[in-house]
Amino acid sequence: MAAVTYELIKTCKQTGARLGRVHTPHGSIDTPTFMPVGTLATVKGMSSEELKEINAEIILSNTYHCYLRPGQDIVKQAGGLHGFMNWDRPILTDSGGFQVFSLSGLRKITEEGVIFRSHIDGSKHTFTPESVMGIENDLGADIIMAFDECAPYPAEYDYVKKSMERTTRWAMRCKEAHKDTERQSLFGIVQGGMYKDLRIESANQLKDLDFPGYAIGGLSVGEPAELMYEVLDYTAPLLPADKPRYLMGVGTPNYLIEGVLRGIDMFDCVLPTRIGRNGTVLTSRGRVIIRDAKYSRDFSKLDPDCDCYVCRNYSRAYIRHLLKCGELLGLRLTSWHNLYFLINLMKQVRQAIMDDRLGSFKDEFYLKYGYTK
């Protein structure tokens, strides 16, 4: 039996969205779910205990970053990421495939793998599907991602096709190299850019490899929202209904809801922590750039409808003051609130599915948030 399994609980009668549960060696996750990103074995600004306080059920970490610092051997010796960062709930590690995209100026792709230059000291490193599986095994996450190439947008058909086919070959090699299936589950990643036939081909090829879960990668890389929805419309249904579906790198409140409506179970994104550190907070009435001068005397809470720790205790004016002064607490409080906002949004989404009213929930949410559609 695979380390990670998916249990479908019910589908929303109004929209067809699915409510489920992902079972892992470190406990179960209610889906749809949002996973905070903790690239360097830390969700920036948040302790593991605080993540529990906001009901984070699973977090993400990253192969490339943890390999460079502190090195997977140290993490392994600490008892894997779970022991190292004192987090006893599920963890997912990304493979470094996204860094193939984001560090495009510092790497070279070959059939064998990717030669990286460290963004820290410029030193040269090689990642192959096999080496990545070794690192991810040492990191010890419950869910590990296959080593893929996240193609840029826009990209030529021929390039995306070659990239996608190579990603499939790498997925086969990953599966071959991944032995610890009792403790970890390896998810495949569908690529294919914005090309329908490539997405179909990718999904079918990966399905044949029978992974315990599937991710859709290569989206939210700068393409228009409508295009992403279109790709999801035809890609998500191709994935096995009895396995979890993970949309990588998404995102904003509307992307999450639109993703769930299209059958996605898992999401991750740096957005809440990053925009939080940069002075923007998510609220039920839309984004608020809390750093702006107009909030200097606003002693109300970040979001009038929020009951998170931050909103229960601190005002907009105070948090703005902290941010303007570069105080660490400001970054922490905005990150905290934003993470809570998305995790709580997914909780409401799950309840709406349970009540067969996700479509209505979406309309109400969008109206209040200020989305035009």
Partner RNA sequence: GGGAGGGUUCCCGAGCGGCCAAAGGGGGCAGACUGUAAAUCUGUUAUCUACGAUUUCGAUGGUUCGAAUCCAUCUCCUCCCA
Strand order across the beta sheet in which 124-127 lies: 107-109, 114-117, 124-127
Residue count at the site for RNA (CB under 7 A)?
Answer: 57
Per annotation, catalytic residue among 30, 268, 307, 363: 268
* Residue (184 or 252) nearer to RNA, CB: 252
Contact between 215 and RNA per CB under 7 A: yes
**What separation in angstroms does the CA of 300 have from each of 290, 297, 318, 320, 373?**
12, 9, 10, 12, 28
**Cα–Cα dist 115/124, whole Å:** 7
Q: How many residues does the chain have?
A: 373
* Residue (243 or 277) nearer to RNA, CB: 277
Non-local CB neighbours of 10 within 8 Å, separated by 6+ positions? 18, 19, 353, 354
Contact between 302 and RNA per CB under 7 A: no
Which one among 33, 39, 163, 202 touches RNA, defined by CB under 7 A? 39
Contact between 293 and RNA per CB under 7 A: yes
Residue corresponding to tokens 């609980």: 9
Does the active-site annotation cover 268? yes
Contact between 44 and RNA per CB under 7 A: yes
* Residue (14 or 130) nearer to RNA, CB: 130
Contact between 124 and RNA per CB under 7 A: no
Which one among 6, 34, 87, 98 touches RNA, defined by CB under 7 A? 98
Contact between 87 and RNA per CB under 7 A: no
**Cα–Cα dist 146/255, whole Å:** 24
* Residue (94 or 201) nearer to RNA, CB: 94
Which one among 52, 125, 274, 357 touches RNA, defined by CB under 7 A? 274
Residue ranges in 101-120 that form contacts with RNA under rule CB under 7 A: 101-103, 105-106, 119
Q: In the numeric block, which tokens belong to residue 308?
A: 């998170």
Does the active-site annotation cover 138? no
Contact between 178 and RNA per CB under 7 A: no
* Stretch of 155-163, 244-252, 311-319, 343-351 lying at the interface with RNA (CB under 7 A): 244-252
**What separation in angstroms does the CA of 355 have from each of 72, 250, 266, 344, 361?**
44, 25, 20, 16, 10
Can you name the residues that pair with 109 across neighbouring β-strands?
114
Which one among 32, 89, 279, 358 touches RNA, defined by CB under 7 A? 279
Q: What DSSP string runs through 249-261?
A: T--SHHHHHHHHH
Contact between 132 and RNA per CB under 7 A: no
Contact between 292 and RNA per CB under 7 A: yes
Contact between 296 and RNA per CB under 7 A: yes
Query: Of 237, 233, 179, 228, nearest to 207 (Cα)?
Result: 237
Buried b / exposed e over 244-256, threshold 16 CB at 10 Å, is: bbbbbbbbbbbbb
Can you name the residues that pair with 69 across neighbouring β-strands?
none
Identify the DSSP state of 236. G
* Residue (99 or 137) nearer to RNA, CB: 99
Residues interacting with RNA, by CB under 7 A? Answer: 37-39, 43-44, 60, 62, 65, 94-95, 97-99, 101-103, 105-106, 119, 145, 148, 150, 189, 215, 217-218, 220-221, 225, 248-252, 255, 268-271, 273-275, 277-280, 287, 289, 291-294, 296, 324, 326, 328, 331
**Which positions are annotated as active-site residues?**
94, 268
